[in-house]
Structure 1
Amino acid sequence: DILQQAVQALLQAYDWSMGGWGRAPRFPQPMVIEFLLQQATRGDQKALEAAVHVLDQMSRGGMYDVVGGGFHRYSTDDSWLVPHFEKMLYDNAQLALAYLHAYLLTGKVAFKQVCTETLDFIHREMTHPEGGFFSSLDADTEGQEGKYYIWLPAEIETALPDPASRELFAQVYPVTAQGNFEGHNILQRKGSLEELAGQLGLPEIELIERLESIHRQLYATREQRVRPATDDKVLVSWNSLALRAFAQAARYLRRDDYLAIARKNADFLLKTMYVDGRLLRAWRIGQARHSAFLEDHAGLALALLDLYQSDPDLRWYQAAGQLAGDLLEHFRDPQGGFFDTRSDQETLITRPKEIQDNATPSGSALAASALLLLSAYNDNGEWRALADYMLSSLQDLLVRHPTAFGFWLQGLDFAFGPVKQIAVVGPLSSAVTQAMLAAVWRTFRPRSIVAVSDQTVEPAGNFPELLLERGMIEAKPTAYVCQGFVCNLPAKTPEALQQQLETVS
């Protein structure tokens, strides 16, 4: 009922014309969209319609950079046309995930394209050679906001020498001499790719491919301009959001390059951001600084659990467990929940304890979700009880102000379950093992966790209890689908696993 009440509150406040919540300036609200997509997996069609509608509206251009990929910070109008041109890592990480999950639920190729273009943008323009992700790109170049991103008709004509390309561009993007922004043009499509493909009599995939070629030519021209400055700080909490996006895209889209980016980022964070056994918050020009906050510890724990599910290297799981231990030792409030600062940090008159989600998830919401996921792996009743207490204390606020508690709502959805605990045991080099993993990641499963064990390696140290006493049957890869650590009969084939995933409630 609480989940349904929150959905109803969101739908009642939703702008079914232009998409989104509230009046301009209009922010993208990725956490709320994720929550709606979670409810779509419970069969809520209206929640799916709202999520798909706003994702489509935002991706047409303006706030979304159709030429180079990635999202600007927010729209200054209700139609997502004129953005504040700054690009933030945290926005792009969270939106890439939302578009990925929407693609998995709908099969809309345009959503997959936005996801991959956004991740490719982060990798190309916001990544340090050592693996950390930068914080943002400025809005201004040469003292003018948006100058790098806007166009004159003559610039388009020069960039697209082929008449057929110019004709298709004109049919998709309304570029005029008067412009739509200070005498220049911000590129925004006239409609969705599906609508435009129908009007032009083209298959949607062909339209996407032809526009990709046009965008590449425009990007090459744009690269000759003065680029926006980069805020090259590496922040653990924001990097954790991007790490989650790359890790999930790697397994759902079977992209080894994304997995390599995620591994490199995780290695950077675990090796560079720890000094004398203590996690630090920010890094720049070779130096890590400032004691990490709650959001850094909890966000990184969640990200490492995502990476573990894409790359079953035990060290990711173990590092997430260590971060959870640090939460309990240094951040826990004896009265319930967590403080935002460490107990041994510099003395403050009062230790802050922010619960509301803003442009990024609150540290407390991240901590609750991290404890929920870890308890689903290790059956730690204390961690589960603490997360449940945090969620139960906020349920009234979640219903009355859902746009301010989007990540909390995602955690509540997981807490309500049912949660599928999936153990896959078998050599990773086996085609059968890989087919079983492909069955698991065929669709968006927000209330599932996966643990994988290569039977040829003996587990050592701290490993998921989900894998205990679960081995291969007849020396062949075997999968177990469990709830509350009680499992169905072992699945010995990918087909049997798929059937259990579809039928277990």
Structure 2
Amino acid sequence: MKPNNLINELSPYLQQHAFNPVDWYPWNDKAFQKAIDENKPIFLSIGYSTCHWCHVMEKESFEDEEIANILNKYFVSIKVDREERPDIDSIYMTTCQLTTGHGGWPLSIFLTPNKKPFFAGTYFPKENRYGRIGFKDLLLRIKEAWENNLTDIIKSSDDITNTLNQLFVKTETSPINERILDKAFKYFQTTFDNVHGGFGNAPKFPSPHNLIFLLSYWDNKTNSESLNMVLDTLEKMRLGGMYDQIGFGFHRYSTDEHWLVPHFEKMLYDQALLIIAYSFAFQITKKDFFKTTVYEIVEYLTLKMKNNDGAYFSAEDADSEGEEGKFYLWTYDELKNLLSDDEFLLASKFFNIKKDGNYFDEFSRTTIEKNILHQTYSFEEYSKLNNINLDQLKDKISSIRIKIYNQRKNRIHPFKDEKILTDWNSLLIASFSIAGRILQDDNLLDNAKKIIDFIENKMKSESGVLLHRYKNGKADINATLDDYAFYIWGLIEFYQSTFNFNIVDKISFYVDQSISKFYDEENGGFFLADKNSTDLIIKTKDMYDGAIPSGNSVMIYNLIKLNSILFQNKYNHIIEKTFNYFSNQLAQSPASSTFLLLSYMNYIFPKELVIIYKDEFELNEIKKTIFNNFLPLTTINAFHVNNKPDNFKSYELLNEKTTYFYCSNFNCKMPTNNFSEILSIDN
């Protein structure tokens, strides 16, 4: 097979297409110059390596000689890995959503040679079916339109591009105040599924930042309903088929409302954000169920996703052997033959194994004779209902799980995307830091430190700026806002866990670099791509917190936290201008930007705690006390009495004992030696 122009690309997704008969190009000047020289439209296909429907479209169309001949004759075809170039994806995903009302991957966009879009869609079958135009038919229609109606196409592309530009310039603003938090809560209250947990109908995504917002809302408003919605959702997700009961870790989303049938790919960012949500749930409830889930996710990451230098790979595919979920599914007889009679009797009840299978395929609307292992009850509930000793039950299930896991290892594994991304690894720095302090586990903090060391040593250019992607021993691709924002967040959480003030200098350095590279001084807000980049038709800004929080939401959180750490208002003008820029969108749909709302809560309800101590033993005891409490809006500094930064020189010991200085909602309280007094102030 003859390779195409993707053969030398490092992206696993582009490599998957390197032997297609389609004459693919990566996103580069050569491709666009070819389109200009030959006066051809561009077909831009954007996806990622673990995307199921991307694989389907490749099999149906991009490996098909007939389709390849049409594309090669009449188009210039470009492939983009959306995980490597989120800045490109952002522009054309916005185009698709704007023109069709929906989006997703594979993203299929038709452009003029100057990169302006004139038609957008997602997955197309080769022939007309599923109520969709076939890809072959679509290509021939666009080819005909390009030859006969080019003027109309050019006008359409100009109109779409102008509309895109208007989305990211200064718009009307709306007043926002504390009531915006209540509006978001009411949305979740209205859409909450009282039976199965989660929000809305199928499909259901984990969206951990929504849960983290609701926990902070509960803490601030003492709203028990907000807390209960989160705990119920976390429990139902962990018990369901969306959780890998055998190898641990969460799949990407549930195709049904029961959390039973997942879309089987596993994404690094989901694991990171869910570690945070489950850690907070444990901190609040002290229930081992939530702590155990954290450690199971960590076990999955350690065994399957960690590279030799302490960083983590991006994702595992949904498919193996050309079939979605095949690696994770079991027939009744497979398990019956694998386990002893007693083991199978317990496993079939505990994991809901059915003779006819329990896998209901939403696409075909049929039940497949395979089983998705899932729990109806937690260990504690099952133990009580069946009068089984809890410890014995856990031991038996653990033995069964290990036996199934070892058998599963013999199967053909799903493809693993082994590129390392700065932004997603930075989410893990935050999650390991948060989990490490809550669970008082130095090993988790060490995991965070190793990722920091990896980024500092291997994910920076010679000039000291961050890079986005590491693969095959090489770091490249300019970092985006998300890389900087998530890395700074990770560093902040690591500082909040260790109180090593040297980290604050690093945080300040990357914050100033971010402002220089991405901040829009004229209108407010941060661009996703570097302001000086030249290969994009527009620069996008995003506040929508989708599968992961937006870079803007996290960057504003960082600036608010850094202000509190430094006891300065150095970044207030940027914070206020950015809130103002996004205020209209936030007022219209606050529940779509819950991490930005979390930032807003920290802005209007700031809480700062400074601790002065005498020795390291004392500091460790202090950590055990404060980290036992859920304090989502509190920024903490802790300094040895003889080693304080200049801003804190006036803070001294009271009665020669550990002293707490606490400020809440812009009011500072009298210093105290009793931490319980701090906890009682806002209650």
TM over 0.5: yes
Is the CA contact (8 Å cut-off) linking 2:217 and 2:226 kept in structure 1? Answer: yes
Q: Please name the residue that 1:325 is paired with.
A: 512
What is the aligned-residue identity percentage?
Answer: 30
Shift of 1:14: 1.7
Shift of 1:231: 0.5
Q: Please name the residue that 1:169 is paired with.
A: 347
Candidates 470, 474, 489, aligned match of 1:287: 474
Counterpart secondary structure, 1:274? coil
Q: How many angstroms apart in 2 are the aligned matches of 1:424 and 1:254?
A: 21
Counterpart check, 1:56 vs 2:235: yes
Mapping of residues 138-149 of structure 1, within 5 Å: 138-149=317-328
Shift of 1:45: 0.8
Q: How many angstroms apart in 1 are the aligned matches of 2:671 and 2:390?
A: 42
Counterpart secondary structure, 2:289? helix
Q: How many angstroms apart in 2 are the aligned matches of 1:166 and 1:321?
A: 57
Shift of 1:389: 3.5
Mapping of residues 304-315 of structure 1, within 5 Å: 304-315=491-502
User: Aligned pair in 2 of structure 1 residues 206, 503: CA closer, same or farther (>3 Å)?
Assistant: farther
Counterpart secondary structure, 1:271? helix
Any unmatched runs of 5+ in structure 2? 1-178, 360-367
Q: Please name the residue that 1:122 is paired with.
A: 301
260-269 or 483-492, larger mean C-alpha shift:
483-492
Counterpart check, 1:227 vs 2:406: no
Summarize deviations over 1:216-246 as a string: whole Å, max 9, x none.
3322222222222211111111111111111
2:274 partner letter: L
Q: Please name the residue that 2:287 is paired with.
A: 108
Counterpart check, 1:435 vs 2:613: no
Q: How many angstroms apart in 2 are the aligned matches of 1:324 and 1:268?
A: 19
Q: Please name the residue that 2:545 is paired with.
A: 357
Shift of 1:193: 4.1
Mapping of residues 149-188 of structure 1, within 5 Å: 149-161=328-340, 163-181=341-359, 182-188=368-374
Mapping of residues 317-466 of structure 1, within 5 Å: 317-334=504-521, 335-395=523-583, 397-398=585-586, 400-428=588-616, 430=617, 432-455=618-641, 458=643, 465=647
Q: How many angstroms apart in 1 are the aligned matches of 2:677 and 2:342?
A: 49
Q: How many angstroms apart in 2 are the aligned matches of 1:155 and 1:149?
A: 12
Shift of 1:210: 4.2
1:53 partner letter: D
Candidates 407, 416, 429, aligned match of 1:243: 429
Counterpart secondary structure, 1:2? helix
Q: Which has the larger radius of gyration?
A: 2
1:372 partner letter: I
Q: Please name the residue that 2:404 is paired with.
A: 218
Is the CA contact (8 Å cut-off) linking 1:440 and 1:498 kept in structure 2? Answer: no
2:471 partner letter: R
Is the CA contact (8 Å cut-off) linking 1:29 and 1:403 kept in structure 2? Answer: no
Q: How many angstroms apart in 2 are the aligned matches of 1:248 and 1:110?
A: 17
Q: How many angstroms apart in 1 are the aligned matches of 2:390 and 2:213?
A: 28
Structure scoring higher RCO (CA < 8 A, sep ≥ 6) equals 1
Shift of 1:158: 4.5
Is the CA contact (8 Å cut-off) linking 1:6 and 1:400 kept in structure 2? Answer: no
User: Aligned pair in 2 of structure 1 residues 124, 402: CA closer, same or farther (>3 Å)?
Assistant: farther
Counterpart check, 1:297 vs 2:484: yes
Counterpart check, 1:195 vs 2:381: yes
Summarize deviations over 1:362-387 as a string: whole Å, max 9, x none.
11111110101001111332413422
Q: How many angstroms apart in 1 are the aligned matches of 2:654 and 2:479?
A: 45
Counterpart secondary structure, 1:254? coil
Q: How many angstroms apart in 2 are the aligned matches of 1:149 and 1:89?
A: 18
Is the CA contact (8 Å cut-off) linking 1:9 and 1:400 kept in structure 2? Answer: no
Q: Please name the residue that 1:22 is paired with.
A: 200
Q: CA RMSD in A?
A: 2.3
Mapping of residues 66-77 of structure 1, within 5 Å: 66-77=245-256
User: Aligned pair in 2 of structure 1 residues 175, 452: CA closer, same or farther (>3 Å)?
Assistant: same
Is the CA contact (8 Å cut-off) linking 1:424 and 1:450 kept in structure 2? Answer: no
Is the CA contact (8 Å cut-off) linking 1:193 and 1:208 kept in structure 2? Answer: yes
Counterpart secondary structure, 1:184? coil
Q: How many angstroms apart in 2 are the aligned matches of 1:468 and 1:10?
A: 45
51-60 or 307-316, larger mean C-alpha shift:
307-316
Shift of 1:437: 1.2
Q: How many residues of Structure 1 are paired with residues of Structure 2 in the alignment?
A: 494
Shift of 1:205: 6.2
349-358 or 38-47, larger mean C-alpha shift:
349-358
User: Aligned pair in 2 of structure 1 residues 51, 354: CA closer, same or farther (>3 Å)?
Assistant: same
User: Aligned pair in 2 of structure 1 residues 434, 398: CA closer, same or farther (>3 Å)?
Assistant: same
2:227 partner letter: L
Counterpart check, 1:5 vs 2:193: no
Candidates 219, 230, 234, aligned match of 1:41: 219
Q: Please name the residue that 1:83 is paired with.
A: 262
Is the CA contact (8 Å cut-off) linking 2:180 and 2:590 kept in structure 1? Answer: no
Is the CA contact (8 Å cut-off) linking 2:184 and 2:591 kept in structure 1? Answer: no
Shift of 1:213: 3.6
Q: Please name the residue that 2:9 is paired with.
A: none
Is the CA contact (8 Å cut-off) linking 1:169 and 1:214 kept in structure 2? Answer: yes
Task: Using structure 2 for the length normalisation, give the TM-score.
Answer: 0.68
Summarize deviations over 1:435-472 as a string: whole Å, max 9, x none.
2111110022111122223456x45xxx584x443244
Counterpart secondary structure, 1:11? helix
151-160 or 281-290, larger mean C-alpha shift:
151-160
